[in-house]
Amino acid sequence: MKTWDGLIQAEELLPALGRDDLIVVDCRFDLADPQGGERAWASAHIDDARHADLDRDLSDHRRHGHGRHPLPDPEALCRRLAAWGISPAHQVVVHDGSDGAMAAARLWALLRMLGHRRVALLDGGLRRWQALGFPLSDRPVKPPPSQYRATFDSTAIVSTEQVLARLHEQPAWLIDARAGARFRGEIEPIDPVAGHVPGALNRPYTDNLAADGRFLAAGVLRAQFTALLGDRCDGAAVMCGSGVTACHHLLAMHLAGFAGVQLYADSWSGWISDPARPLARL
């Protein structure tokens, strides 16, 4: 059977639905309406898709000082995967409402950190699925429980202490996925302090997307990231406001063929939890 480990197109997913080894996870989430994604899923979803909630399932808010969306406990995440019927052998497809940033790329990255390689993001998300006239269902989902045991690859995550130790390292190695105005410190609509980690470079995650909301071609992504970081793309690190949209860069750099890219999961909201840490504005 065909497998996918980066992107899957809607035209590929539709005929694969119903495969015993395939599970779809709907990750729709709205920061302004945290329960809105789950309500939308309950109303209409790709048939048999499970729902992953960014706050409940993909974060651990008991971990204070690690930003607005701290990484989940890996054991708790494995229990949730098992409850969804996912095992390490399954082909998983993740999606959200549109471009993957909220929060399908987050689940894609978390599964990769657990060592799960058969995971792909639905390119263009539910928006493109519906634009193509593909079916949705309101049928309740009752997955059979499975087993999932794994832990995070520590080399895939960079800590605040590691960022501090490399703060003045040149050339630059840390990419911030937030919008330019937030990176420059001109506005900050979410976090209490504006600015960015000194030495970081800015590439909004939206730069990974074509006009139709799908990812740019792998060669284009590779050229653009290389223009930004030169030969530092392998082993670079990515961040954002809370470690969620940064995962869009993890996927984009995977598509581009780069290796060893790390997530600064605490990101800006975790960085500013200690006022003694330096910040920069442009």
Instruction: Enumerate domains of the chain plus CATH numbers.
Output: 7-152 (3.40.250.10), 155-271 (3.40.250.10)
Instruction: Return the pLDDT at 168.
Output: 87
Report helix, strand or coil for 262.
strand
Instruction: Return the pLDDT at 80.
Output: 98
Decide if 240 is catalytic: yes
Instruction: Return the pLDDT at 265.
Output: 98
Query: Of the listed 27, 78, 233, 240, which one is catalytic?
Result: 240
The string of DSSP letters for 128-173 reads HHHHTT---B-----PPP--------GGGB--HHHHHHTTT-SS--
User: pLDDT (tens digit, 0 to 9) for every residue of the chain, 282 residues total?
Assistant: 899 999 999 999 999 999 999 999 999 999 999 999 999 999 999 999 999 999 999 999 999 999 999 999 999 999 999 999 999 999 999 999 999 999 999 999 999 999 999 999 999 999 999 999 999 999 999 999 999 999 999 999 999 999 999 998 999 999 999 999 999 999 999 999 999 999 999 999 999 999 999 999 999 999 999 999 999 999 999 999 999 999 999 999 999 999 999 999 999 999 999 999 999 999
Instruction: Return the pLDDT at 1.
Output: 86
* φ, ψ of residue 167 in degrees (nearest 5): -55, -40
Is the pTM here over 0.85, yes or no? Answer: yes
User: Do the Cβ atoms of 130 and 17 come closer than 8 Å?
Assistant: no
